[in-house]
Chain A
Amino acid sequence: MIQKKICLLGASSVGKTSLVKQFVEGIFSEKYLTTIGVKIDKKVVTLAEQQIQFMLWDMEGNDSYNVFQERYLRGAAAYIIVVDQTRASSIREGIDIHTLARQVTDCPAILTVNKNDLPATWHIEDRENEGYQSLFDLQFSTSAKTGANVEEMFVALAKLLLKG
């Protein structure tokens, strides 16, 4: 079976671990428990004709307590930048991480705007938003809580990787 390393990147508490948990185990916990270091989960995605095993590298969020480490991206087939739609600063931090990641890999990059079950507090100009979109291969609006678009995002990623 084909195996692909997928890294989840983003600022702290945007919901990276929750997205993985929702996708792998189908569960969501309201309790926020910060990730330390790296945790790897596996999940097989079945498409019409093929199966693909995702190795999901869930990484500690980047903030003043943890700097982004490029080396974890080695061998990644794609990475997902997760941002929080209730926190505008998380999109800026996500873009910064994307810029750093681009210096070491040109693999597909996905932007996911998570927590879409909560009211958005972004007030970014549309033009700015469009600019962000052009930086990514795919873009999703997800909710790890309700599961909205989570499966869809990983399936779309699987298709993208198999096509490539």
Chain B
Amino acid sequence: MASLLNKVINALEQIVLEVTDINSGTVRWVEGEGEWFNDLYPDSIPNETFVIDEETPFLLDFLIDAKLVWQETENAKLRSGLWTELTPDKQELHLEAIAIKQDQHSLLIISNQKENFKLQQKTKQLAREVLLSYDRLFLKSEYLHTRLVSILKQPPEPSNINKTLVKVIESAEFAVLVTSSDFSNNIENPAALKLFEQETTYSAQPSKPIDIILRLMQNQLPEYERILSTNSSWDGELCWISPPSTLKWLKIAFYPVKNKLNEVENWIIFANDISSIKHLVQRNEQLALQDMLTELPNRFSFWQTLDKHIVADQSFYLLYLDINEFRRHNEFYGHDEGDKLLIELSKRISTALKTSDFLARVGGDEFAIILNKVNNQADCRKEIEHIIECINKPFHTNKSESFNISLSVGAANYPNDAQSVEDLMKFVDLSAYNGKKKKRNSIQFYSQSMKDASRYAIKVEQELRLAIKNNEFELYLQPILDIKTNCINKAEALIRWNHPIRGIVSPDDFIPIAEKSGLIISLGQWVISRTCQIAKQLSELGFEIKISMNLSPTQVADVNLFAFLSTCINDNQVNPYLLELEVTEGVLVDDYSVAEKLLSNARTIGMSVSVDDFGTGYSSLSYLKKLPLDFLKIDRSFIKEIVTDDNDKAIVRAVIGMAHTLNLCVTAEGVETDEQLTFLIDNSCNSVQGYIFSRPIKVDNFIKLLKEQNQT
């Protein structure tokens, strides 16, 4: 695990330093390696300490802010922003530092941000060039416009005005025209004549600049008539195409100069050639739609194109290509080689396609293709086989090592398989995923059974939405017995769906769908709310029974969960001691810090916490020591064979022993026989749950059970 982590850190080009002395800036190099870091700190050695000093002033300065993070009692993080260092051989290193406080550790991550820097620079460079060009254009036009208007509005002394006008206009760097109200007489500067220069071989008499502008406005502006009839000003872009070779983008400003009676006496027209800016903007737009590495259209562009294809309503095949074992390739040969492979692969795929097809890189190692003009599945398969043929030839690393790759290809047809962008993508993704299990070149067409499963999921999702609205759910309770007292002291709340047609639906059939669709949050809230009501109801009947409720990973990650819990507890005036949260091992391991915060908060207000299905997941015991827990629930799979299987016996004994050492109580799930129960009693298990006592039952039946228990 540690070595894998180190590989990941290296792949991310990060170095992890542990701060050993905050005040002197002394750090220990604990994880990661890379030549770039040796260039930055030539004297540092892995696992040894060194001092961050004035050799790297930016980082030294960042330590002042970082100290505040490291002095925090809670986990915290701060980024330095990008900076550039020069190595001894004058190479630029683009870096970022991250100060982290995590579980009492003060860490400093130095990250080589080569790619991010490149991307930012490329994007901002273009953006700033465009900004600059427009800025200059605006400034010049604005200034000249003000001057011209002031001259034209002077008292009429024609000869004088003309002289000044001509002087001002002639010095302008862009096309300026001043015309009479009916456009018959006009003054134009040399820049205007140059801008509207035409090849006279095709036109005996070149058009005047003003005529060209008016014609373009008339043809390209629906509001042209309105502008003239209302004496309005207008500015915008026009495209001037004059065969054989003229294509110019013009930025036109069109202003009326009015007299006191509000009549137009002159028009001032500016025209700037913005073809180069337009080109920059297009490059910028392209950038937003392009994958920087392969220069193929990116995911965003792909979705747009797919959308257009669906609107056009022509049949096509959508392919989804996934490189098998790409991560392993990256780990083995390094990221630069991984990038090289992606570029080479994209080129090979491109050569295998028709010009009417569309190829995009839609993920790290995923490509999507829209295949047009393919009649049927057999033809589509042939095209895919042609692609695979192209990629089957060996690839070569920079060191001339040769290697082969394989692809998982998922395919779906529009409109037969799906009619929406989302469904098509979902289906091809599913197909590629199904093929991927084979770990060699595979072609998987979206099939009826896949379609059925997918449709079923969509249907259930819709029904679930309705069910939440219609309150079709019910909580069942399964009793948990304390072994010492042999009495019910707790119950697990289990959700059931009373489907109007299908009857009771098991949670196994809808919880995964609810989890995937996000409906689990609403469903979970209903469970919490209902559990609080039941706990209160039982309490009012004199039964101080704790009720445990299961939390899914999505719920645990939901930042509003604790607030919701608190509100429900307050609204129902239930003692939090009567409530327990059950989470699975996976949740704890995957999102430790979030889970830790939630569970700590829950325990602070008096709730207890148990780990469900213990032993089936990661079984990482380290979290058990760190997390605020009360109970471990041993999974039923260990209990099932406990009487006959020596391994299971050993595991259960070990878990109970370990839990007791950590002051945790143990509940055994799935207890069905007396032999199992005897074993658990003999081995000091604290409580048991299973069919031997009761299945999950309705609340009323549970109350009856409690009452019976009281009577005996």
Contact = CB atoms under 8 A, between A and B. Distances in A.
Interface in B196-246: none
A36 B120 contact: yes
B124 A38 contact: no
A71 interface: yes
Contacts of B509: none
A40 B81 CA distance: 14
Interface in B81-129: 81-84, 94, 117, 120-121, 124-125, 127-129
Interface stretch (A83-91, A101-109, A155-163): A83-91
B124 A65 contact: yes
B34 interface: no
A63 to B, nearest CB: 7
Contact of B81 (A12, A38, A64, A65): A38
B654 interface: no
Interface in A67-122: 69, 71-72, 74-75, 86-89, 121
A108 B195 CA distance: 48
B617 interface: no
A130 B135 CA distance: 24
Contacts of B84: 36-39
A55 B54 CA distance: 10
Give the residue among B94, B120, B124, B140 with the most A Cβ atoms within 10 A. B124
A5 B54 CA distance: 12
Interface size for chain A: under 10, 10 to 19, 20 to 34, or 35 or more residues?
A: 20 to 34
A36 B140 CA distance: 29
A13 B128 contact: yes
A13 B132 contact: yes
Interface residues of B, number: 26
Contact of B139 (A55, A65, A74, A121): A121
A1 B143 CA distance: 50
B64 interface: yes
A49 to B, nearest CB: 24
Interface in B517-551: none
Contacts of B135: 87, 89
B277 to A, nearest CB: 15
Nearest to A61: B128
B136 interface: yes
Contacts of B140: 121
A75 B117 CA distance: 26
A39 to B, nearest CB: 4
Given A40-B83, A63-B131, A75-B61, A34 B124 contact: yes
A87 B136 contact: yes
B139 A88 contact: yes
B57 interface: yes
B279 to A, nearest CB: 16
Given A3-B54, A36-B94, A66-B124, 10 more contacts: A12-B131, A38-B83, A38-B84, A40-B57, A74-B61, A87-B132, A87-B135, A87-B136, A121-B139, A121-B140
24 contacts: A3-B54, A12-B131, A13-B132, A33-B121, A33-B125, A34-B124, A36-B82, A36-B121, A36-B124, A37-B82, A37-B94, A38-B58, A38-B81, A38-B82, A39-B83, A39-B84, A61-B128, A65-B127, A65-B128, A69-B81, A72-B61, A74-B61, A89-B135, A121-B140
